Amino acid sequence: MSPVKLAVQTLLTILAMVIGMGALLFLPAWTLDYWQAWVFIVLVVGCSNAIGVYLALKDPALLARRWRAGPTAEKRPVQRIAQTFFILGVDGVLVLCALDHRFVWSPVPAPVSMAGNLLVALGLLLVFLGLRANSYAASTVEVSEGQQLISTGPYGIVRHPMYSGALLMGAGTPLALGSWWSLLPVVLGAPAYLIVRILDEETLLKSDLPGYTEYMQRVRYRLVPQVW
């Protein structure tokens, strides 16, 4: 993909992200007076845009791979199902947060909401560190031609640092958006999604990526050191 097309696709994707997140949050809340949503959108879109600019300058091939995402881009049936439930789950959590704000079911104090934003930011940072270390980190589960095993940076601590970042973002999002109740579907759904996705991904990597079995023996933990 040419740099111009990549830049245009990046801008269009970010615009779609703003519109989509705005619709999922402000329509169910039925108000624009929702400061938690404004802060969250600025944080996520701003960080995503910064990461996109970095990749466009430093690793455009990786950025192009990252844009091939979603259930239809997955080649493995388990991953298509997992990604479908993931997208529905994320959208559902955002809508539930907005409804919680509208009907004041379980309001979160402002300092806790800001702590949630900090978790989201830390999660995005971990995703960025994973992308910087691994130029093969596609959005889909696959092994690219010529792909090399990466065991440096965050990959020397856990095997799936970008999923660790996603876990932090999942935990922080309901708090950032001011909803205690919305933590429940995250606690119930995120571990199930990550376990299914990671175990199936590791089946592929052990089969198709040279050295991955030995890497699993050196780096024992998948997501959280000393836990799993």
CATH number at residue 62: 1.20.120.1630
Range(s) of the domain holding residue 105: 3-218
- Does residue 182 sit in helix, strand or coil? coil
Residue 26 lies in a domain: yes
What pLDDT score does 3 carry?
Answer: 63
Residue 224 lies in a domain: no
Question: Residue 11: how many CB atoms within 10 A of its CB?
Answer: 12
pLDDT tens for each residue of 184-197: 999 999 999 999 99
**CA–CA separation, 180 vs 55, rounded Å?**
35
Residue 227 lies in a domain: no
Residue 106 lies in a domain: yes
What pLDDT score does 188 carry?
Answer: 93
**CA–CA separation, 181 vs 223, rounded Å?**
25
Residue 55 lies in a domain: yes
Residue 197 lies in a domain: yes
pLDDT tens for each residue of 62-109: 988 888 888 999 999 999 999 999 999 999 999 999 999 999 999 999
Residue 134 lies in a domain: yes
pLDDT tens for each residue of 129-172: 999 999 999 889 999 888 999 999 999 999 999 999 999 999 99
What pLDDT score does 144 carry?
Answer: 87
Question: Measured in whole angstroms, how far is the alpha carbon of residue 46 from the centre of its chain?
Answer: 15
Domain count, the chain: 1
- pTM of the predicted model, to two decimals? 0.93
Strand runs labelled E in the chain? none
- Mean of pLDDT over the chain: 93
pLDDT tens for each residue of 3-56: 667 667 777 888 888 999 999 999 999 999 999 999 999 999 999 988 988 888
Q: Which of 20, 95, 11, 23 lies closest to 48 in space, CA to CA?
A: 11
DSSP string, 73-117: G--SHHHHHHHHHHHHHHHHHHHHHHHHHHHTSS---HHHHHHHH
Residue 223 lies in a domain: no
Count of CA atoms in the C-beta half-sphere (13 A) of 36: 30
